Amino acid sequence: MSIQQLKAEAEANFLRYASGQQRGHYESYFIRANHPTESKAFWIRYTLFSPNKHPETAMGELWAVYFDGKRHAPIAAKAEFPLGQCVLNPTHFDLQIGAESSIDSVSAKGSAMNISWDLHYRSKEKPLFFLPLNFYNLPFPKAKSLVPQPFSVFNGHIQAGDSSIDIKDWVGSQNHNWGEKHTDYYAWGQVAGFENAPDTFLELISAQLKFGPLKTPMMTILVLRHKGKEYRLNNLKNWFTAKAKFKYFEWTFECENKDIKLKGRIFAPAEAFVGLRYPNPPGGNKYCLNSKIAACDLSIEEKTNLGIKEVVHTNFRAAFEILTDDKTSHGVEILF
Amino acid sequence: MEWKSFFKKQRKSNLKGKLVLITGAAQGIGLHTASEFADAGCNLILTDINSEKLEEAHQRLSRKGVKIDTYIVNVSDKEAVEALAREVIEKHGKLDILINNAGIGHHDELEDTSIETWKKLIDVNFWGSLYHIYAFLPAMKEAGKGHIVNVSSGQAFFRMPTWGAYAAIKLAIGVISEILHYELRRYNIKVTTVYPYMVNTGFYKDVETETLGGRLSMLLLPLYSQKPETVARIIFRAVAQGKRVEMVNPLNNVAKYLNVFPITSDLMNKALTFLLSESDNNMIEKIPGLQMALLTLMSLGNQVQSAAGNLGFKMDELMQGEHEFVDGFGSEGKKRMFFKVTWGTSQLLDWLNPFGDRFMVNDLEGTVTIDGLCENAPCVGKLELKYFAEQKIRYTFDFEAYGEQYQFIGEKRNIYPWNLPYSHTCCFGELRLKETGELVSTSVTHFRLDTIPEFLSSFQIVK
């Protein structure tokens, strides 16, 4: 393994935000996991937000959503804290937002509104880099993301409203993303274990960027860990050759490289989504339609393995997010 | 997620408890070799003709907690050596390792070397070793094992003018020793022949030379010579590994193989003769300006040497990152770790000498913070810039926490020009209990690029 890779892995969770920086910045550490057998999931996000040229108004945010497929609406919460009430470590993953909420490499605890959590997690997997390594040091794309701890196994407790949930061996991930602005329009998905392929990890994004009045074509990149191999369909060629389209609330995609051919669909009913308002560092807002109990079907054709095709699927373990400027037409209420 | 262990376990010698006899052990290579074997837990028999120095050596080495016997012995006295052997075998019943190190130097052209000098050199450097071999061989054969080390010299390969008598005898002992290696194999007795290159001991201190080349070579001795402790360490390692021949310095190999080819051998010897021989030196005087140029060069060299001899530098560096305890040593998860150290050297010449054991080796001291173990604990060690040999930078330091001694070894790896931003800023470390070597924690610490101004501005020349 190259030194560049080793260094990138060691720094996967290091904070990219420098206190007081003038350039706008958002940076999030989020954890998410699914119940082993039921349509239940949680998503907890620790965010630093600093508006462009106004570092004095930078703040720490806590976001938490508990999804239960049997209930109609997810339970969601958000809390904001001035940056002065946050403890940042540039070279050690140990972020504290507010007096009582923190996250490090093995634990997360805290509370926001009517949700509180006290969780421990461990991952034996190597970090998953969604972009080619060099891209993390380049100005483009403006939003970066990676999965420092895929296949994290969570244990602990969550209190969501009047629901008390014991978390026992829920499987998910610990994620890290940052940038000076949110990607203009995207669908993001992640599956940490399919029902019939519990060791398969999928992460993908289809995005469209705006340059003034112009929009790029839909670009899709994908990384798949399957049967001990990692397939990275994330080079520039893949960005433009992959086919993908999404709508409320279904996303289809097709992509391939010399080793593998993938075709998939991620979908969920509107009731499985929560609507969240993400302030954008340059100004304005983006709206995130967020579900962690979506379904996913994925056809995997390994070209190097005699062309054997298999279909993996999950009914409720997929993360599915759409980030849009559209506040209303999807029908999901924007909560915060 | 656990960081992988990058470090191979250090080879442990199996020499503990062995009885080692070293001749000429009062100073120089002999003394340092004794120190290496004492560190490995060997019991020592030290002999020398200089009683005062031998007593000093005894006192210094006795702190290492091994048994030490000393004998004042003239190695060229056959009866004295045989008496020594009888006493040693009677007292200990065996001798595991015999190191024939004692020797004297001589430096003169052959026509000026007296027969008495030849006899004295042969008595000490040749018969001295043979007397010991013959005296201790029967006991080793009876024991069915043993190890004999004969210290020859790199002069055996260089054969430099003015070193004729010395080189001839050292070559002879080298040849005997290398042959002996094969002859004694059937008795399970190992023989190691060691060829030290020029060693920066008192051995060369008193060498008087009138030729410009000779004076130049003595002037530059600190740059190309090796320290006795370095040679001693190499001898110890050669014994531990049971090596047949230990060339000590790559320059010996160069000379050895240059001698194989008539053309290169002739060229080398002509060049050395030109520089070192008095008769050829007269030619230098006849070439207008050459003598002046060489004298100026030497004068400059002298000034540089005297100025740089006590010159050094130091820098401050901050490495920060994370560590993770191995199971059983602390709570799980990555924790903060950083060390803030000052490193540098006070001996710039040694630091610049590629043949010395302090080449690009820096002293290091500062503090280390390892969450879950210590906070700002004072640490002392060294920083080795092994760019050329291993493409690595290695931090080694010791510190104490909760009454336990710990050793940290961290490496920046794969240092090549094309990946400097990654390799030069990322240190993979292991923390071990000093006494047992048990792994306590693994770490990755980073040199942050935004600390470069602070790092560079911390540079200081020290005198």
Contact (CB<8Å) B422/A104: no
Contact A7 B422 (CB under 8 A): yes
Nearest to B1 among A4, A94, A124 (CB): A124
Lowest mean pLDDT among A81-95, A114-128, B22-36, B344-358: B344-358
Residue B72: the pLDDT is 96
Spatial separation of the C-alpha atoms in residues B348 and B357, rounded to whole Å: 13
Partner-chain residue, chosen from B2, B322, B426, that has the shortest CB–CB distance to A6? B426
The answer to whether the Cβ–Cβ distance between B336 and A92 falls below 8 Å is yes
Within an 8 Å CB–CB cutoff, is residue A20 touching chain B?
no
CB atoms within 10 A of CB A237: 10
The residue from B166, B195, B197, B395 that is catalytic is B166
Do the Cβ atoms of A123 and B320 come within 8 Å?
no
A91:B336 CB<8 A: yes
Q: Report CA dihedral (A86, A91, A93, A94) to the nearest 10 degrees.
A: -40
Homologous superfamily of A3-324 = AttH-like domain (2.40.370.10)
Shortest alpha-carbon distance between residue A148 and chain B (Å)? 10
Would you give the distance in Å from CA B230 to the centre of its chain? 1
Question: pLDDT category, A141, cuts 50, 70, 90?
Answer: confident
Which of B3, B6, B322, B420 would best serve as a mutation to test chain A binding (most A beta carbons within 10 A)? B322
The residue among B359, B377, B357, B358 whose CA lies nearest residue B369 is: B377
Overall average pLDDT of the A91-95 stretch? 94
Burial B376-403 (b: 16+ CB within 10 A, else e): ebebebbbbbbeeeeeebbbbbebebee
Q: What's at B42, amino acid-wise?
A: C
Domain range B312-462, CATH class: mainly beta
Does residue A89 belong to the interface with chain B, where contact is any CB pair within 8 Å? yes
Residue ranges, CATH 3.40.50.720, chain B: 14-304
Provide the pLDDT for residue B215: 64
CB-CB neighbors (< 8 A) of A126 in chain B: 1
Q: Per-residue confidence of chain B (463 residues) as pLDDT tens digits?
A: 444 444 444 444 688 899 999 999 999 999 999 999 998 999 999 999 999 999 999 998 988 889 999 999 999 999 999 999 999 999 999 999 999 999 998 878 888 889 999 999 999 999 999 999 999 999 999 999 999 999 999 888 887 777 889 999 999 999 999 999 999 999 999 999 999 977 776 556 555 555 666 666 666 666 667 788 888 999 999 999 999 999 988 888 888 888 778 787 788 777 777 766 665 555 556 666 666 676 676 666 666 666 666 789 999 999 999 999 999 999 999 999 999 999 999 988 888 887 777 889 999 999 999 999 999 999 999 999 998 878 999 999 999 999 999 999 999 998 888 888 888 899 999 999 988 899 999 999 999 988 999 999 999 998 8
What is the end-to-end Cα distance of chain A in Å, rounded?
44
B447: closest CA of chain A, how far (Å): 10
Q: What is the pLDDT of residue B443?
A: 96
Q: What is the reported pTM? A: 0.69
Closest Cα of chain B to A259: distance in Å?
28
Asked if A106 lies within 8 A of B333 by C-beta distance, the reply is yes
Chain B within 8 Å of A88 (Cβ-Cβ)? no
Q: Which residues of A92-113 are buried (b: 16+ CB within 10 A; e: fewer)?
A: bbbbbbbeebbbbbbbbbbbbe
pLDDT level of residue A173 (50, 70, 90 thresholds): very high
Mean pLDDT of A140-158: 95
Say yes or no: A149 contacts chain B, CB-CB below 8 A: yes
Name every residue in B having a CB less than 8 A away from some CB of A.
1-3, 320-322, 332-338, 413-414, 419, 422-423, 425-426, 428, 444, 446, 448
Question: Could you tell me what percent of chain A has a pLDDT over 70?
Answer: 100
Are the Cβ atoms of A10 and B422 closer than 8 angstroms?
A: no
Q: In DSSP terms, which residues pair with A107 in a beta bridge?
A: A120
B303 vs A269, higher pLDDT: A269
Closest alpha carbon to B16 in B33, B41, B34, B38: B41
Domain ranges of chain A: 3-324
Nearest CB to B321; choose among A10, A123, A126:
A10
* Average pLDDT for A298-316: 88
User: Which of A91, A106, A123 minimises the CB distance to B446?
Assistant: A91
Place of tokens 């837990």: B41
CATH number of B14-304: 3.40.50.720
Whole-number Cα distances in Å, B78 to A156, B127, B135, B150? 82, 8, 9, 17
Nearest to B336 among A7, A10, A94 (CB): A94
Would residue B166 show up in a list of annotated catalytic residues for this protein? Answer: yes
